[in-house]
Amino acid sequence: MPTARVIARLDVKGPNLVKGIHLEGLRVIGDPQEHARRYYADGADEILYVDIVASLYGRNNILEVVRRTAEAVFVPMTVAGGLRSVDDVRDALRSGADKVAINTAAVARPALIREISEAFGRQCMVLSIQAKALGPGRWEAYTDNGRERTGLDAVEWARRAVALGAGELLVTSVDREGTQRGMDLELIRRITAAVEVPVIACGGVGTPEHAVQALREGGADAVAVASVLHYGRHGIGAIKARLAQAEIPVRTSA
């Protein structure tokens, strides 16, 4: 089994780290750079920054946060939110990001996936899928932080995006996001079975055991965690210790 990754997800609105439930009802948590440094020190394998209002308001203010974080955090960083062009991606990479996650712009113009992959390498292009359940075994992809329907079947969209050049998928269950009640394992299983690129499972981790389930039962390559960290229920170190106990390989030092 490949080494599993535990990724700290930080949702940013303006200068603040925020968190909600189902991507709504946002509460200010604190300073994003301070939290990123703390999670890095605790063993986070990657940092995922999501500008949660960039797509809605047509702006991207997160790059200064990324620049400052890159001065003190030395694990890969992914930036999501408001990236609409190859030039936007170039700016994010120059600011210190290693990868970008695209959702709204990719749905609007799928060719952007190929353009980013060809310009910066497939490993740089992460497709973000915000999925809501429609019924048993069916999920629809949403955009604009879970606000807008696309009419796209989430699993089929994952397949198409990989064919276009996506090198990784960030799959967020909007139904589970922020609840800390466990992940949508069936969604994760369906998407990991449909593609041959790494899948990051996001939405619902409330205990270290939930991470074990996503990796072992869901087949994910990584888990992205937020509320469980921000509210102090469990740290990165505790999650990775449980993964190691479950004989899931993890990186043990920064």
Model pLDDT for residues 67-82, shown as the tens digit of each residue:
999 999 999 999 999 8
Sign (positive/negative) of CA torsion 36, 37, 39, 40? positive
Instruction: Determine the distance from the C-alpha atom of residue 228 to the mean position of all C-alpha atoms in its chain, rounded to a whole number.
Output: 15
- CATH numbers and ranges of domains, the chain: 5-245 (3.20.20.70)
Answer for the pair 54, 61: CB distance below 8 angstroms, yes or no. Answer: yes
Q: Which residue has the higher pLDDT, 17 or 112?
A: 112
The pair of structure tokens assigned to 214 is 């996503």
Answer for the pair 99, 90: CB distance below 8 angstroms, yes or no. Answer: no
Q: What pLDDT does residue 7 have? A: 99
Model pLDDT for residues 165-211, shown as the tens digit of each residue:
999 999 999 999 989 999 999 999 999 999 999 999 999 999 999 99
Structure confidence at residue 1 as a pLDDT band (50, 70, 90) = confident
Answer for the pair 12, 231: CB distance below 8 angstroms, yes or no. Answer: no
Dmax (CA) for the chain in angstroms is: 45
Query: Is pLDDT at 106 greater than 80 in this prediction?
Result: yes
Q: What pLDDT does residue 166 have? A: 99
Structure confidence at residue 60 as a pLDDT band (50, 70, 90) = low
Q: Which spans in the chain are helix H?
A: 32-41, 54-57, 63-70, 86-94, 104-108, 111-120, 154-164, 185-194, 208-216, 227-230, 236-245
4-15 mean pLDDT? 94
Cα separations in angstroms, 80 against 17, 31, 138: 14, 18, 25
The pair of structure tokens assigned to 87 is 């030039």
Q: What pLDDT does residue 226 have? A: 95
The model scores a pTM over 0.75? yes
Answer for the pair 236, 19: CB distance below 8 angstroms, yes or no. Answer: no
Q: What pLDDT does residue 253 have? A: 66
